[in-house]
Structure 1
Amino acid sequence: MGQALIRNLEDEILNDYREAAKRNGRSLEAELREALTRNRPLAAVQRRALADEVRAMLPAKIPGAEGADIIRAFRDTHGGRWPDAAGD
């Protein structure tokens, strides 16, 4: 297994993990290991699967959500120009 040395941690962050370790009845090292494991970045395959799962919960077509419809509605409610145009 690998090791990592992390330098220049803010004292407040380290103290927060020390307190969490104490609450959870484990060492600071074990608490940090758990935090890193729990917050591990998702691999591309996992992100794609999660996106597919969320997409499956949505209706197949959301009325009025076509790109042209969104642009037209925005244009019609902002006088035909973007808010930052001409110093807005």
Structure 2
Amino acid sequence: MAALSIRDLDDAVKEKLRLRAARHGRSMEAEIRLILTAAATEEEGSRTDLFSALTARFAQLGGLDLELPARDTPPRATDFDD
């Protein structure tokens, strides 16, 4: 088994880790080991892009079909001289 040392860890982060470990009934070392193992074994392919995540999240609300009016005039180029 490997050993790790983490230098310059903010005191507030250490305290939050200590409290989290206590809530889960584990030592701080066991809690950090669990967090690191979960982060390292997370499959990259299982991540969803933001658009897909939002679409899935709000799909139950239903969609909306908008009727877009026809364009009467052709688009004009932007004038950057001003």
TM-score by length of 1: 0.49
Higher gyration radius (CA): 2
4+ residue segments displaced more than 2 Å: none
1:57-76 equivalent positions in 2, closer than 5 A: none
TM-aligned CA deviation for residue 38 of structure 1? 1.3
* Number of residue pairs matched by the alignment: 55
CA offsets 1:27-54 (integer angstroms, 9 cap, x no match): 0100110110111165xxx435x37xx8
Q: CA RMSD for the aligned pairs?
A: 2.9
**Mapped pair 1:37 → 2:37:** yes
Counterpart residue type for residue 27 of structure 2: S
Determine helix, strand or coil for the equivalent of 1:15: helix
Determine helix, strand or coil for the equivalent of 1:33: helix
CA offsets 1:38-87 (integer angstroms, 9 cap, x no match): 11165xxx435x37xx8xxxxxxxxxxxxxxxxxxxxx6xx646xxxx5x
Aligned twin of 2:58: none
Residue segments in structure 1 that go unaligned for 5+ positions in a row: 55-75
Structure (1/2) with the larger helix percentage: 1
CA distance in 2, matches of 1:41, 1:80: 51
Aligned twin of 1:23: 23
Residue segments in structure 2 that go unaligned for 5+ positions in a row: 53-74
CA distance in 2, matches of 1:80, 1:16: 55
TM-score by length of 2: 0.52
